[in-house]
A and B are shown apart, each in its own frame.
Chain A
Amino acid sequence: MIKFKNASLGYGKAHILSHVDLEIKRGDFWGILGYNGSGKTTILKTMLGLIPCQKGEFTATGSLFGRPRFGYVPQKERLDPLYPLSARDVAAMGTYRKVDLLQRLRGAGHEDVVNRCLADCGATHLAGRRLSDLSGGQKQRVLIARALAAEPEILVLDEPLAGIDITTQLSLLKLLKELKASRALTVLMVSHRVSAERGLFTHIAWVEDGKVTTGPSEKMLASGKLNEVFKTEL
């Protein structure tokens, strides 16, 4: 679905990562791991089409034709709390793929889709509340519901567990595991920590010093570098 071959990634003329080789197949659960500022989000932004691939080969192919449908969960801190949006309003944004003017004039929407996604994420009871009033874990559930409302083939999460207590982290990880199984999703999760989520990953991309090392999670977790990171976290 996603393939980088000898790719250079970065912003403008500045290279952040070089010689990136990475292939994501349908049904994989990838963890893109590394320290803060290592370039994890750069990989994610290139995949999503937010920045162009600077050099090398990058392809993203969906099940039908063209790009795959992405469901994106951004870092919750990037969303401005000033907007007077309810959790339902935010989840409904996932359905804004088309203009649908006639449907809009008729007053029809995608309420059934939004309701189902909120329910799948255990966020139905939050629907009427203002997003900015919710806790970190509740916000994450709503943002995952929004990503699901886009009916994605690939779910992409940027630091979904940052700033969330361990109990909520575990419940979010359980939710992701269930969603992946029930919706046959391919999942990519960017994280600067690995302790709570390592059991979910089928593959890991470790980002450090402008390079990306990839492999199956068992192999990567057995490597000395990641072991060292785990010890530090523990």
Chain B
Amino acid sequence: MSLLIDMLKPDFLLHHAVWGSVVVGFVCPLVGVYFVLRRLVFWGVALPQVSASGIAFAFMLQGFGLNFMAGGEAQEKHLAILGSVIFTVGTILVLAALERKGEGLSEGRIGALFALAWATSILFVAFNAAGETEMLGLLKGEIVSISESDFHAMLNIFAAIAAAMFLFQREFTLVSYDRDTAVTLGRNVLAWDLLLFLIIGLTISLGVMTVGPLVIFGFLVIPPLAALPWARGMISFSVIASLLGGLSAFAGFYLSYTRDLPLGPVVVCIACAVYALSSLARRLVPKSKSSSFI
């Protein structure tokens, strides 16, 4: 028990790692609920890999001597973040445009994109052998080695993302649920969609830099799936998903630290266990009692 309390204290050796993981665990499900509700779960698989590909691309450019942000390790990370954001947001916008047109097979596109992103991540890394170890570290998430200033910047950005998700929850829900009514009410559906996609892109990019693509996929999709059967409105859906994500991250970190296991897979396994328990409990609780929101 004392270790659990110690892990939350500022003087804990892996203080950044604990809080970074937990904050990502709290915030990712807030945007992930829209993946689930818009039935875009596979986006949650492909986009973190695209983000990882963006990181690898940024390092490949450095390997070719194209260093736009010359300097130390911090600048390299900033360049990696830039690559990750550009790749992720760019891909989201293209995917969203194709979804709006409604042409072709959506699942097919996402499958091909995932394969491409994975392949290019490996290829881009192969072009910069000198920085391969560092790149692989970043692709897995480099929360342990993040600087104090970057850590606080990340916390501020995730706080802003969480605030935006709650502040604009009505608009995001309306344009996701019933676009025609949103237009009829005079809302600019395209602008709200763009804002939502930009927030999603930023969350995934920073999240991948922090904890890696595997954990981000886990946080984006699994906590919302576990929360959905218990949700009583959009706010409760978001809050339950966020709590499950944050608690899974903390429990995952505790297990990883005490049992000397890799953090990412432990966190994802715990999130999946929570999902399984939630589904089981949903079957045991009579539906008639839970169908009323009163």
Contacts and interface: CB of A to CB of B under 8 A. Distances in A.
Contact of A79 (B178, B233, B234, B236): B178
B1 interface: no
B234 A93 contact: no
Interface residues of B, number: 30
Contacts of A83: 37, 173, 176-177, 234
Contact of B184 (A72, A85, A101): A72
B44 to A, nearest CB: 15
Interface string A170-204: 00000000000000000000000000000000000
Interface residues of A, number: 34
Contacts of A86: 232-233, 293
B32 to A, nearest CB: 14
A96 B177 contact: no
Interface stretch (A1-9, A126-134, A205-213, A220-228): A126-134
Given A86-B232, A128-B293, A49 B174 contact: no
B292 A128 contact: yes
A150 B234 contact: no
A105 to B, nearest CB: 8
A70 B167 contact: no
Contacts of B170: 93, 96, 104
B76 interface: no
Interface in B19-49: 36-37, 39
B243 interface: no
Given A96-B174, A96-B187, A101-B167, A84 B237 contact: yes
Contacts, number: 88
B270 to A, nearest CB: 24
Contacts of A146: 181
A97 B186 CA distance: 6
B159 to A, nearest CB: 16
B177 A70 contact: no
B289 to A, nearest CB: 12
A85 B37 CA distance: 11
B180 interface: yes
B183 A150 contact: no
30 contacts: A48-B183, A50-B180, A50-B184, A70-B184, A72-B184, A74-B178, A78-B180, A79-B178, A80-B37, A80-B39, A82-B228, A85-B177, A88-B293, A93-B170, A93-B173, A93-B177, A93-B178, A93-B181, A93-B185, A94-B185, A96-B171, A96-B182, A97-B187, A99-B171, A101-B167, A104-B167, A128-B294, A130-B291, A130-B293, A150-B185
Interface of A: 45, 48-50, 67, 70-72, 74, 78-80, 82-86, 88-89, 93-94, 96-97, 99, 101, 104-105, 128-130, 133, 146, 150, 156
